Structure 1
Amino acid sequence: MARNISEIKSEITREFMRNESAAERYGFESGAAFSDWFGALSVENILLYVWAVCAWTVEQLVSRHKAEVTAELEALVAHRPKWYRDKVLAFMADKELEGDSDTYDTEGMSESEVTAARVVKHAVATESRDASLLTIKVAGESGGARGSLSQEYERQLKAYISEIKDAGVRVALVNMAADTFNCTVDVYYNAMLQAGNVQTACESAIREYIENLPFNGEYTNMALVDRLQGVEGVQIVELRGSSAQAANESTTTQINARLTPAAGYFTPGKITVNMKAYDEQG
C-alpha cells in the first residue's frame, strides 16, 4: 500500500533527527523530536516537506506503472478458472459490453439496478485436464432459493462467455434444475419425547443441510449423520441409504459416502425418517 505524504515526511524527519552530524551541527540530542527544534515555517521543515512530496510522487508513479503492467500481463496470459467464475457472476442480462472489452458501462445505474441485472447468483468453474474442457456451473436465485436461469438468460450468458473467453478454450455451461436428494434414515430417539416432534426436527435438519450446502459443495453421508446426531432427543442414527437424481438423468444414483451434485446444488426429494424408541436396556 502506497504511503501518504505525512507518513513519508515523518520517516524523513525521524532519520534526520537520528543523524549524528545533524545533531552536532544543530545542537540537539540524537533521536529528539523534530517539532521541538523546528517550527512549521522553518526552512528545514519546508525542505523536508518538499522532499516528502517528491518521494510520494515517485511512489505513485511506480504504483500506477505496476498496475498497468499487471493489467497488460493479465490480458496476455490465459485466465484461470476463478477468473471465469468471477466474470460469469459479473454478467448482466440485457446489457451490452463496452466496445472491445469484457466489462459493462454501469454509469447512471443504481446499486440495486446493477444487482438485479446480475442474474447469475452462484457460479463455479472447474477444469478437466483430460478433456481440455472448462465446465461452468451456474444458478440464479428466487425468494432465497437457488434455481436455473431462464432459457433467454442462458442464451445471453453463452454469448457473453463466447465473447470474453480466451481463444481456444472449450467451455461447457451447466444451467439446470437442482439434483433431487432422497434418503432413508432410522432414528432411535429418547422415548420420553414425542416421536412426531423429533421426527419433524430430523426432517428439518436434513432439508437444511441439503439446501445450504455451498454451491457445487460435496455432500457426505457422514456429515448428514452428524447433523442428525445434533438434534435434541436423537440417540442413534442409522442411514439406510441415500441417492440423487440429476434433472437431465432418468436414473437415480446411489450415494456411496459422498457426491457432488451435477447441477451444483440439491433439492430435497423423498425424505424418510423411521422413528424407533431407544431402549437403554437393549
Structure 2
Amino acid sequence: MSRTLKEIYNEAVSERNKRMELAEFSSDSKLSILNGITWVVAAVIHSFETLLDVFAYDISETINRRVNGTPDYYARALLQYQKGDELTVREDGLAFGYASVDESKRIITQVSYDESSDDVNLDSKLVLKVATGEKGNLSAVDADELVQIRTYLSKIKFAGTRIEVTSLPGDLLVPRLSVFWDGAISEAEVFDNIEEQLKEYMMNVEFNAAVYVSKVMEAIRSAAHVTDVWIDEEAVPAQGVFLACHDSDGILQPMRKIARVQHTTSGYLRQSSGKDAEEQIPNFRQSLKLSVDGR
C-alpha cells in the first residue's frame, strides 16, 4: 500500500538531516528551495507508489479470473458464449476461443453456480443455472440452444469435471396476502401501485438469490396508500407467499408456501401469465385480498 505524501516528505527530510554536507541548507521554512525540491520529489514518489498499487490490483484481478477449472471460470466462460460461432484452438494449443468477439451473440446474461454431491459419485457436481434477457425480464434459454451451450462447455471443461447446465422458466411469485389501504384512491389504482412495487422488487433481486417473505411484504407495504399487509391464518384459500417452480424437465410444479426464506429453482422470479400450464396459478391481482383500512 502506498505511503501518504506527508509520510514520504517527512521520511525524506529525516534522511536529509542525517547528512552533514546538507546541514548548512537546513531550514524550517516551507518555502525554502531545498524543502520545495524535497516536496516535489516526495510527490513524484507518491504518484509512482500509487501507480504500483493500481498495477498490483489489476494483475491480481487478471490472475484470479484466469484460474482455470474453478466454478467462477466456468461461469465466466458461459457469459462469453457466442451463439452460432465455432470455437477455435489458439495457436499455442493451450486454450479455446472465438475468432472475434461479438457482443450481440452473447445470449447468456445471468449465471450462478452451486456444487452438489450424491452417494453414488464421490466427486461433487457443478450445477450452473443460466438465463437470457435483461434483468427484470429474464427468460429460459431455448432448449435447442441449451444443447449447443452444453457442447461448448464439454469442449472447454477439464477432464473428470462433472458439470450440469440448466435453464428453466422463472419461478412464479404468488403473494396471497391481505392488504389494507387508506381508501383515498380506487382499488384499481392500489393494484397498479402494488404491482409496480412487486415488479421493482423482482428486478432488484440478484440472480439465484433467496426470496424472503418479509421482503415481499415490505415491497407491497411500500406501495402508495397501502397501510398494512397481513397474513390471515384463517383465510381460505390459505394465505402466505408462495412459489411455483419448474422441475428439471421444465414441468411446472404445484405452488409451495415459503416458511420464511427459499432459494429460487430457476434463479429468478416472474408473475404468472395465466396461460397454458400457468392457467391455475394466480397473478398478483388475483392473489391479493384488498380491504379499506378501518372498515
Do they fold alike, i.e. is TM over 0.5? Answer: yes
Q: Percent identity among equivalent residues?
A: 18
Amino acid at match of 2:82: M
TM-aligned CA distance change 1:160 to 1:27, over 3 Å: farther
Which residue number corresponds to residue 237 of structure 1? 229
Structure 1 distance, partners of 2:255, 2:206, is: 21
Q: From 70, 75, 89, give the equivalent of 1:85.
A: 75
Q: Does 1:117 align with 2:105?
A: yes
Task: Give the C-alpha shift of residue 86 in structure 1.
Answer: 1.9
Aligned-partner Cα distance in 2 for 1:143–1:123: 12
| Change over 3 Å in CA distance of 1:71–1:181 after alignment to 2 | closer
Task: Work out the CA distance in 1 between the residues paired with 2:132 and 2:155.
Answer: 21
Cα gap change, 1:192 to 1:71, in 2 (>3 Å): closer
Displacement over 3 Å in runs of 4+: 14-23, 30-33, 102-106
Aligned to 1:101: 95
Q: Among residues 264, 267, 283, which one is paired with 1:264 in the alignment?
A: 267
TM-score, length basis structure 1: 0.69
Match for residue 292 of structure 2?
A: 277
Pairing partner for 2:143 from 142, 151, 176: 151
Q: Please, what is the CA RMSD of the aligned residues?
A: 4.1
Shift of 1:138: 0.3
* Equivalent residue letter for 1:258: V
Distance in 2 between residues matched to 1:142 and 1:229, nearest whole Å: 26
Cα distance, 1:101 vs structure 2? 0.7
Larger Rg: 1
Can you give the 5+ residue segments of structure 1 that lack an aligned partner in the other structure?
Answer: 41-47
Alignment partner of 1:176: what SS?
A: coil
Q: Which residue of 1 aligns with 2:182?
A: 190
2:25 is paired with a residue of what secondary structure?
coil
Residues 130-279 of structure 1 mapped to structure 2, 5 A cutoff: 132-141=124-133, 145-239=137-231, 240-247=239-246, 248-256=250-258, 257-269=260-272, 270=282, 271=284, 272-279=287-294
In structure 1, the residue matched to 2:235 is none
Residues 22 and 158 from structure 1, CA distance in 2 versus in 1: closer, same or farther, beyond 3 angstroms?
same
| Alpha-carbon distance in 1 for matches of 2:104, 2:288 | 39
Structure 2 distance, partners of 1:159, 1:97, is: 14
